[in-house]
Amino acid sequence: MASNNQNIITVSENMINETLRKKILSSPAGEYIRDYKVTFSQGYIYLNLNLQVKTLGALTAKYRIEVVDLIFKPGSHVLIADYLEDVSSSGGLAQNMMLKAVALKGGTFLQTVIGMTNPPGIKLDAKSCSVDLEQLLNFNHELSSMLTLSYLDSRNGMLQLAYQLAF
């Protein structure tokens, strides 16, 4: 689809929440994610996660993500986003106390998880995150050497990206 001389890729909530569900939940992250829901609304990406963390038990983590920049061009594939986090325990008093102890260490729950798992290419502080997609995903280098993406918007249940191909 083209609009204003731009080629647009539109990704629906349905595609992520239903079509890709099995693939996402069977990925390495599926060890911790029991269920999830992604919503695109008013320029934000909302992510609701039901988690099972061995030491903390069942948790609910809600994120509001604002894409600051998407650098997706030959040689560089980086996502930069700001986020707000709300994490709560689905368990009893002991789990709530353990979750509060994690929070008292400073930073966000996401910072704690990233610090423990140390995945390649992810850097974050209490409000923002950068993800080097090259280090996390196995790109088809032929296509990624020709494809440029830029973030447009996320609203009304749709994420929109503009793309260009250089042959």
Would you kindly state where each structural domain of the chain is located, as residue ranges? 2-165
Q: d(Cα 46, Cα 49) in Å, to the nearest integer?
A: 10
Across the strands, what pairs with 63? 47, 85
Tell whether the torsion through CA atoms of 163, 7, 18 and 60 is positive or negative. positive
Other Cβ atoms within 10 Å of 85 Cβ, number = 17
- Is residue 21 a contact partner of residue 29, using CB atoms and an 8 Å limit? no
Backbone angles phi, psi at 135, to 5 degrees: -80, -20
Q: Please give the torsion angle defined by the CA atoms of residues 99, 100, 102 and 104, in that order, rounded to the nearest 10 degrees.
A: 170
Q: How far is CA 108 from the centre of its chain?
A: 15
Supply the pLDDT for residue 55: 73
The whole-model pTM stands at: 0.85
pLDDT of the chain along its 167 residues, tens only?
Answer: 445 567 999 999 999 999 999 988 888 777 888 999 999 999 999 999 998 877 778 889 999 999 999 999 888 899 999 999 999 887 777 777 777 776 667 788 888 888 877 888 899 999 999 999 888 777 666 777 788 999 999 999 999 999 998 77
Supply the pLDDT for residue 18: 95
What is the amino acid identity at position 166?
A
Supply the pLDDT for residue 1: 42
Q: d(Cα 112, Cα 66) in Å, to the nearest integer?
A: 20
For residue 12, what are the CA distances in angstroms to 18, 19, 100, 121, 152?
10, 10, 35, 26, 14
- Is residue 149 a contact partner of residue 7, using CB atoms and an 8 Å limit? no
